[in-house]
Amino acid sequence: MSEELTYTAFASDSLLVSGALSIVVSGLKSRFDRKGVDGVLIFRDDTGSEVDFDLTGTLEDVLLRVLPKPEQQGRGRPKLGVVSREISLLPRHWEWLDEQPHGNSAAIRRLIDDARKKEPDRAHVRKAQSAASRMMSTLAGNRPNFEEASRALFARDEKTWKRLVKGWPGDVRKYLARLLDGTWHGGLAEGHGTAARTE
């Protein structure tokens, strides 16, 4: 089962709300109804990309617009998220696959899953670094030591990075550190957790 996507909203240098989509949207809707959301930046935590939500109408209206719709399950075998694509293999590969129990597709999926388990850290680290870099550029691109901190981030030099960002606003610094937790000397920690917080 895939992890639930999380989002974080900032107003200037202050973290407004962070957590699952429904939590973040509810917090933003409350602020929108009181004083609007001009200047608020919303990020998708796993990619660092900025997102925007239409907060007009009732909270129920907003949630209906932004939350994923449940897939309609028809009769017959469930899809299980399977995507069909064509691959090209040499005859010896097909011969080996034909000898495997449970069919060719199951054998290929098993090989891919085994490979992913053997080296998950590198991909997770790159993804976390890229996401943090995007958000760092948006939230602290004009801060002192930004360029040096970016280099330290990709060099996985935690000590230098922490020293360089020490003077940055607390919420920005803590948020970026949370995203990077576990990437400095190994793989991404299994879960950095999310804290729900609103003004």
Q: Which domain holds residue 60?
A: 6-66
| Contact by Cβ (8 Å): 133, 154 | yes
pTM higher than 0.85: no
Q: Would 88 be classed as within a structural domain?
A: no
Q: Would 192 be classed as within a structural domain?
A: no
Q: Would 25 be classed as within a structural domain?
A: yes
Model confidence at 14, pLDDT cuts 50, 70, 90, reads very high
Q: Which residue in 191, 7, 33, 183 sits closest to 15, CA to CA?
A: 7
Q: Would 169 be classed as within a structural domain?
A: yes
Give the CA distances from residue 136 to residues 72, 82, 128, 149, 151, in Å, rounded to whole numbers and listed in that order: 39, 36, 12, 9, 12
Domain count, the chain: 2
Q: pLDDT tens for residues 43-82?
A: 999 999 999 999 999 999 999 999 987 655 555 555 555 6
- Cα–Cα distance, 140 to 45 (Å, whole number): 16
Q: Among all chains, which residue has been given the structure tokens 């760092």?
A: 136
Q: Would 154 be classed as within a structural domain?
A: yes
Q: Would 75 be classed as within a structural domain?
A: no
